[in-house]
Amino acid sequence: MKPSRMKEHLMKIHPDKADKERSFFQALKEKHGRRVISSLFTRTSSQNDSGLIASYNISLLIAKCGQSFTIGEKLVIPVIKEVISTVMERDPTQVLKSIPLSNDTVARRINEMGADTEEQLCAILRDSPFSLQLDETTTSDNNALLMAYVRYRASDIHCVLHRHNLVAKCISPVLHESLNIAVKAINKIKAHALNDRLFRQLCQENKETFECLLLHTEVCWLSKGNCLARFCELFYSIVEYLEKVDAALGERMSSSRCDIMYLTDFFEKMNEATLKLQGKDVTLVQCKAVIHSLTSRLDLYRQSIGRRHFAHFPQLTKASNSLTTTETDEVK
């Protein structure tokens, strides 16, 4: 702008500043420039921090859901873009730039959070007594893994679960033997690649809902219920397969069927109670209510079984009905 036009603009628009010295305008320029630059960087820094936090939180959700890391780019980013542009009627470009969710970024975020969790656990174990259990497990593709399970006292309810675990292990010798028979049958099939593959083929031929068994892990004792539930679903296919591989084990399993079905129902109820005892916001009062409810229902279950009413035990009911039908057929 020419000096003459600037002077004309000053006299018409800002007459109150026409007699000001040059130093006044220079100070005003510096003040205005610092304010604009400072607010710009503050806004950008705040947006970047929010985007970084959102990136970590979304990566954590992806890890919890067990989805592939590419879902951030393929689904989450398009969803955010659609919500901002359609619902908020804003340009989503700046927001999307501040939330990195590429495949490598999500993988790096998850690895960082996993390392931080491990470091926090190690820090707790350095300053508190703990017990350590080791066991071997196998993945679905028959890869052997070493599992380490640590019990320690902290600001949660691990001590309550530990006592619950000890009580759950005090079962009668007969039921314990039946449980071992089921575990042996599962290991006979699942622990060998050839047996596992042949059993899958048999399940396909029998049109079973599932095609594989779940391994029982002593470290994670909740797996008893999940393991036996799958075992009961595939019971007849297991018996059929063991007749060709290990007939003696198949006969022992058939004779222990009612015990195994009872254990399946019982461990399922124990698992339900135990899952209610876990969680970040669970209080001691809530834990006490859950345990009191369980002990009250145990009395009810004992009375029902004494009268041979198995309404609370669906798997045992099926086994009992099949035995009754078999005995009737034999009499006929």
The whole-number mean pLDDT for each consecutive block of 10 residues of the chain, a chain of 332 residues, reads: 80 82 80 54 62 90 86 91 90 88 91 90 85 73 76 63 60 86 87 85 89 68 74 90 90 90 86 78 81 86 85 84 55 36
Note whether residue 188 is domain-resident.
yes
pLDDT of residue 38: 47
Q: How far apart are CA 219 and CA 196, in angstroms?
A: 23
pLDDT of residue 152: 76
Query: Count of residues for the chain?
Result: 332
Domain check: are 76 and 210 in the same one?
A: no
Looking at the structure, tell me whether residues 110 and 168 fall in a common domain: no
Cβ contacts of 167-175, under 8 Å, gap ≥ 24: 168/221, 168/267, 168/270, 169/221, 171/263, 174/259, 175/259, 175/262, 175/263
Residue 142's SS3 state is: coil
Instruction: Report the alpha-carbon distance of residue 108 to residue 114 in Å, rounded.
Output: 10
Shared-domain flag, residues 233 and 161:
yes
Same domain, 90 and 199: no
Quick one: pLDDT at residue 108?
92
Q: Is 310 domain-assigned?
A: yes
Q: Assess if residue 255 is contained within a domain.
A: yes
Total domains in the fold of the chain: 2
User: Any idea what the Cα angle at residue 86 is, between residues 81 and 90, rounded to 5°?
Assistant: 70
Can you give the pTM of this predicted structure?
Answer: 0.53
Calpha distance 284→142 (Å, rounded): 40
Of 93, 117, 141, the residue that ends a domain is 117
Single out the residue in 95, 117, 139 at which a domain terminates.
117
Same domain, 170 and 67: no
Range of the domain at 185: 156-331
Distances (CA, A) of 30 to 20, 42, 112: 16, 18, 43
Last residue of a domain, one of 117, 146, 176: 117
Can you give the pLDDT at residue 161?
Answer: 58
- List the structure tokens of 54: 């959102």
- Predicted pLDDT of residue 222: 56
